[in-house]
Amino acid sequence: MYRLTDEGKRYLEVGLPEKRLLDFLEDGKASVGDLNREIDDSSIAINWCLKNNWIEIEDGVAELKKSPENMHLQEALERIESGQEVDQKTIKDLLKRNLVEEIREDVVKQAKKQIKKGEISNLTPELIKTGLWKKASFKKYDPTKTGKEVYPGRKHILSYYIQNIRRVFLDMGFEEMRGSFVESSFWNMDALFIPQDHPARDMQDTFYMKNPCTANLPDRKLVDSVRKMHEEGDGKAEGWNYRWKEDMAKKPVLRTHTTAVSARKLREIEPPAKMFSVDKVFRNETLDYSHLPEFMQVEGIVADENVSFPDLLGYLKEFYRKIGFDKIRFRPGYFPYTEMSVEPEVYFKERGEWLEMGGAGIFRPEVTKPLGIDVPVLAWGLGLERLPLLQRDFSDIRNFYYENNLKMLKEAKI
Amino acid sequence: MAVVKFDVKDLEELTHKKMDRETLENRIPMLGCEFESLEEGTVEYEIFPNRPDLLSVEGFARALRYFLGVESGLERYKTKDSGINLEIEKSIDPVRPCISASVVRNIDIDDHTLRSLMQLQEKIHKTFGRERKKVAIGIHDLDKVEGPFTYKAVDPGEIEFVPLGSDKEMNLKEIGTRHPKGDYVKIVEGHERWPVIVDKNDEVLSFPPVINGRLTEVSEKTENIFIDVTGTDQKAVERALNIVSTSLGERGGEIETVSVGGKTRPDLEPNSMEVDIDYVNSLLDLDMAEKELCDLAGGIGFGYDSGTFEIPPYRTDVMHPIDIVEDIAISYGYGNFETSIPDVPGIGSSQEIEEFTEKVKELMVGFGFQEVKTTVLTNKDKQFTRMERDKEEVAEMENALSEDYTICRKYIMPELLDVLRQNQHRSYPQSIFEVGDAVEVNKKSEVGAENRRRLGVLIIDDSVNYVDLASVVSSLIKILGKGARFKKNKDSSYMASRSGTVYVDGTEVGTVGEIHPKVLENWSIEKPVVGFEIDIDLLVESI
């Protein structure tokens, strides 16, 4: 079995070159120059016409001698294209001129076998190669049936939230921070002016480490100014009025908030500065449907001499607006390291209720002063898991982190 | 977290104001507390640890009268001398050196007052008092005993009395072992001699911080009250005394002073603090004049006169001018501030590792994998035993509440196997990955441990093999700009001769292989699994 080559297909369309030359001459003459200009593949055309004695050329002018009765090669192209038989001699000529090619016998066999079966369900490479698709009849489909659902490889639903939040802060010109899960009590608590006998240090809230069992403290000068702030304040500040112990500050913990990372950063930066992180924190709590001993915190600080409390509220409002919460309200809160302290609540239209999203405030001077910062520092530590938990179909936080219900993760809408 | 219950009617009477649900649920929290519930005439609030003065209904109502505009300005508490002395013996110094006391007379004690008093005492003990260690309060029927009183330390076997909640005489040691409140003995048990307060006739008022005597138990018949506060921090002791005394004063009692070791207590004079008006205005972005500031101060019960604030004696939380600024802000109303976004310069910049992680995630998703997120917290059984691996050094906690979470993960793959175990009834194949932080102990680092960003990948299906994933690791690393080389390994988590170690630039970055059937058995997984895990931080360092 044979099929047209690309050139064969082209000549089927526009005519063989010799046919086009004869058509151009009609009964008259033309200069070779004209022929070259007017006819594509003119040299092939001229060769074939001379060979068949259809024209003669004298002094650069071609003249028709005798026109063939029919152009049997042109007809052969048509026959092959429509799947009809062509005699061997013609095939040989066409093969020589590279206008047809032979289809492998096994492919032809395959294709023929496929049509023989009657109604065909799927188009095959063999049917396409042999052109036998033209003779085949295909099974009719019901286009309203789309089959079972398919799921792409995809990111975890929480990753979309994290990415979005990172982008929001990067767009607002914040610099990203990274810290370590294991942190010294010094940075997690002491540097944040949390007194060493504060209930938050009680064993049930903080994971203390058995290994590593001790952490290095920063330089003596910083340690001493933190100690002094705790013990007696600085004249303006009254302090907590107790004996601060270095050993307690050296105890490594799993950080209970990423505010520890902010505290470290405050030590390094020169205001103005805007920093953020979206990272994990740990609390020694038992696992249930809404509590995990680890969760994400959206942390941010803005240090500048001109910032004020309404600016803090402004940042929070803008952040939540950018991630899709238009309604926000602010309630006074309490954290030992901020004053003013505020607990933002956002309105979940999906649930028709206000929900608390975390904490924010302006760092107390007792926090910033020992770290060498003498401008106000706005700070927030906001929850993350609540967003998908309350907006999506996840009613149980364990679906996220523990079980990773693959069906729900694959089907989760974004 | 101190959650207190108030009877709404009682609260209304003390506040002189009717309160609907909206006020209770949404208005009052703007004072700085958290609404918990409202049921059958009882409202519950969480009180923040900086405001122990709100732990009694009397103190809470006092704050509300200011907040709701019923009252304004500093309230000065009047006191008379009770003529009662409290002597302090030196013997007390090593065990519980601080004490203060007051008397409240002519108080009409009803059920509400009694319950509020008990709640106040219990909550102060729990929070401000650090489980009675720092501060403990004793409340007595003054008429059952006779001053002068003596605070001293005694041999625990020496003195016997009938403690509250009992009808037998016990010595202090016996109280420790037999009395329901005996647990608190641990606060003093390291000492040879333990504290007591006795009266003129050696009748025991109290064994602080453990239990009072039954003799001075307060009931609805009590008219005159003696309050003792003991502890380890004199300032805190005085503050607690002020809170309890003024709270009873709000009920109509007359506060009287006691001579405590020669000092007149309670001291209900307001404290004063200087605060620059510009400081307040700049932090709150307001433009207040003296008059407005004075009004706002009055609206929270503070006095104000030209730069100096007078702080009422029950406010124990003011330790810096910033605390006054916050009260002014609350008085102004958090909801009334006009929010703004300041013009603080900054060029957004991300962590390199986060950007790289995103690329890795994108490629893994492209390879058709579902991202999962497992916990950092895990245990040695999961990380090592079930993986048929020898135990390695890991970051380990000393006080984990749950046996499931005792260490930080060093590897991600075990946690991914746990995901497969829990998803066995769902459709196959399952191809999952996680990129996240694990923790490695490193004694040279500042805190003794550091985070490592790692990638773990698993495929489970009826038929999977080494090549299915080795090709993914190889392509992944190539696209990320490096070449991976593979060497045979003998990792016991994998099947022998069906696993490899992955090297980039001669550095070992991870492993890949068919999970050993024994490991699958340990996880109760019944289909073959192939997996790989690589250290992304190492990869970033090499690129």
User: Cβ separation of A404 and B423 shorter than 8 Å?
Assistant: yes
Beta bridge partners of B308: B274, B305
For residue range B126-168, list pLDDT tens digits in order.
Answer: 988 989 999 999 999 999 999 899 999 999 998 999 999 888 9
Is A228's pLDDT higher than 70? yes
Q: Is residue A150 part of a domain?
A: no
Residues near B195 by Cβ (< 8 Å), separated by ≥ 6? B92, B95, B96, B151, B152, B153, B154, B188, B207, B208, B230
Closest to A392 (Cα-Cα) out of A363, A355, A359, A351: A351
pLDDT at residue A165 in the model: 97
Q: Determine contact: B306 vs chain A, CB below 8 A.
A: no
pLDDT at A288 over 80: no
Which of B132, B377, B444 to mutate to probe the A interface, most A CBs <10 Å?
B377
* pLDDT given for residue A35 in this prediction: 85
Angstrom distance (rounded) from CA B32 to CA B45: 10
Residue A201: per-residue pLDDT: 77
Q: Note whether residue B432 is domain-resident.
A: yes
Q: Which domain holds residue B30?
A: 2-67
Three-state DSSP class for residue A302: strand
Position A339 in a domain: yes
CB A355 within 8 A of CB A376: no
Of A311, A339, A406, the CB nearest to B426: A406
Residue A34 counted as domain residue: yes
Mean pLDDT throughout B386-411? 95
Final residue of a structural domain among B265, B294, B315: B265
One domain, residues A196 and A264: yes
Higher-pLDDT residue of A117 and A368 is: A368
Share of chain B above pLDDT 90, in %: 90
SS3 B357: helix
pLDDT at A243: 92
Are B13 and B108 in the same domain? Answer: no
Tell me which residue of B246, B220, B253, B218 sits closest to B143, measured CA to CA. Answer: B218
| Strands B2-7 and A377-383, bridge-based pairing | unpaired
Report the percent of chain A where pLDDT is more than 70: 98
Mean pLDDT check: name the lowest of A85-99, A158-172, B425-439, B469-483.
A85-99
For residue range A319-334, list pLDDT tens digits in order: 999 999 999 999 999 9
Name the pLDDT band for B51 (thresholds 50, 70, 90): very high
In chain B, how many domains are there? 4
Q: Model confidence at A404, in pLDDT bands (50, 70, 90)?
A: confident
Calculate the average pLDDT of chain B. Answer: 94
Sign of the dihedral defined by the CA atoms of residues B238, B240, B241, B246, in that order = positive
Contact B447 A216 (CB under 8 A): yes
Say how many CA atoms lie within 13 Å of A151 toward its Cβ: 21
**Which tens digits make up the pLDDT trace of A166-203?**
999 999 999 999 999 999 999 999 999 999 988 777 65
Q: Specify the range with the lowest mean pLDDT, choosing from A138-142, B27-31, B203-207, B407-411.
A: A138-142
pLDDT digits (tens, 9 = 90+) for A49-59: 888 888 888 88
Using a CB-CB cut-off of 8 Å, the residues of chain B touching A212 are 395, 441, 443, 447-449
Task: Assess if residue B74 is contained within a domain.
Answer: no
pTM over 0.80: yes
A180, A243, A302: best mutation site toward chain B, by most B Cβ within 10 Å? A180
Give the mean pLDDT of B485-496.
94
Provide the residue range defining the domain that includes A6.
Answer: 2-97
What pLDDT is attached to residue A203?
57
Chain B residue with minimal CA distance to A301?
B344
Same domain membership, residue B178 and residue B320: no
Tell me, yes or no, whether B29 and B63 share the same domain: yes
CB contact under 8 A, A199 and B49: yes
In a domain, A165, yes or no: yes
Q: Strand ranges (DSSP E) for B210-265?
A: 211-212, 225-231, 254-260, 263-265
Please say if the pLDDT value at position A217 is more than 90. Answer: yes
The verdict on residue B75 lying in a domain is no
Confidence category of residue A204, pLDDT binned at 50, 70, 90? low
Whether residue B364 sits in one domain with residue B449: yes
DSSP lists the bridge partners of residue A100 as A4
Sequential DSSP letters for B276-298: -HHHHHHHHT----HHHHHHHHH
Nearest alpha carbon to residue B504 among B522, B482, B519: B482
Distances (CA, A) of A375 to A304, B359, B377: 6, 38, 38
Mark which of B219, B247, B265 sits at the end of a domain.
B265
Same domain, B94 and B182: yes
Instruction: Collapse the DSSP code of A7 into the 3-class scheme (helix H, G, I; strand E, B; otherwise coil) and give the result.
Output: helix
Omega before B429 within 30 of 0, i.e. cis: yes
Q: Is the pLDDT of residue A126 over 80?
A: yes
Whether residues B217 and B288 share a domain: the answer is no
* pLDDT at residue B387 is higher than 90: yes
Contact B449, A180 (CB under 8 A): yes
What's the pLDDT at A141?
87
DSSP code for B73: S
For residues A192 and A234, state if they share a domain.
Answer: yes
**Mean pLDDT of the residues in chain A:** 90
Are A246 and A318 in the same domain?
Answer: yes
- Report d(CA B52, CA B237) in Å as an integer: 12
Q: Which of B30, B130, B368 sits opposite A197 (nearest CB)?
A: B130
Is A149 contained in some domain?
A: no
B151 and B186 co-located in one domain: yes
Q: Is residue A322 part of a domain?
A: yes
Give the pLDDT of residue B441.
97
Helix, strand, or coil here: A409? Answer: helix
Q: Kindly write down the DSSP assignment for every residue of B365-413, as one continuous string.
A: HHTTPEE----SEE-HIIIIITTT-------EESS-SSTT-SEE-S-SH
Same domain, A86 and A118: no
Residue type, B434: E
> From start to end of B12-93, where are the E strands?
34-39, 42-47, 80-88
Look-up of token digits 């108080």: B107
Residue range A281-286: mean pLDDT, rounded = 88
Q: Do A215 and B448 touch (CB under 8 A)?
A: yes
Answer yes or no: is pLDDT of A247 > 60.
yes
The closest CB to that of A307, out of B344, B408, B431, belongs to: B344
CA atoms within 13 A on the CB side of B221: 4
Average pLDDT for B364-391 = 96
Cα-Cα end-to-end distance for chain B: 49
Same domain? For A383 and A362 the reply is yes
How far from B542 is each of A76, B471, B509, CA to CA, in Å? 65, 20, 10
- Whether residue A393 is predicted with pLDDT greater than 70 in this model: the reply is no
Does residue A152 fall inside a structural domain?
no
Token code pair at residue B197:
């307060």
Looking at the fold, whether B100 and B57 belong to one and the same domain comes out as no
Look at residue B181 in the predicted model and tell me its pLDDT.
86
CB-based contact A152:B365 (threshold 8 Å) = yes
Q: What is the pLDDT of residue A351?
A: 80
Q: Please list, in sequence order, all residues whose beta carbon lies within 8 angstroms of the beta carbon of residue B489, skipping any fewer than 6 positions away.
A: B499, B500, B501, B511, B513
Chain A residues whose CB is inside 8 A of the B414 CB are: none
What's the pLDDT at A168? 97
CATH code of the domain containing B12: 3.30.56.10
Q: What is the pLDDT of residues B274-316, one digit of tens each?
A: 999 999 999 999 999 999 999 999 999 999 998 999 999 999 8
How many domains does chain A contain in total? 3
Q: Are B473 and B534 in contact (CB under 8 A)?
A: yes
Q: Is residue B72 part of a domain?
A: no
CA distance to A176, A314, B96, per residue, from A273 (Å): 11, 17, 47
Average of pLDDT values for B343-371? 95
Residue A146 has pLDDT above 90, yes or no: no
CATH code, domain with B459: 3.30.930.10
- Domain with residue A214: its CATH number is 3.30.930.10
Q: Is residue B305 part of a domain?
A: yes
Instruction: Determine the residue of chain B that is closest to A309 in CA distance.
Output: B284
Our CA-based measurement puts residue A158 at a distance from the nearest CA of chain B, in whole angstroms, of 9
Q: Rounded to whole angstroms, how far apart are CA atoms A5 and A11?
A: 10
The set of residues, in sequence order, having a beta carbon less than 8 Å from that of A396 and lying 6+ positions away, is A289, A290
B494 and B519 within one domain: yes
Cα–Cα distance measured from residue A329 to residue B31, given in angstroms and rounded to the nearest whole number = 14
The pLDDT tens digits of the residues spanning A163-176 come to 999 999 999 999 99
- Return phi, psi of residue A34, to 5°: -60, -45
In angstroms and rounded to an integer, the radius of gyration of the C-alpha atoms of chain A is: 41
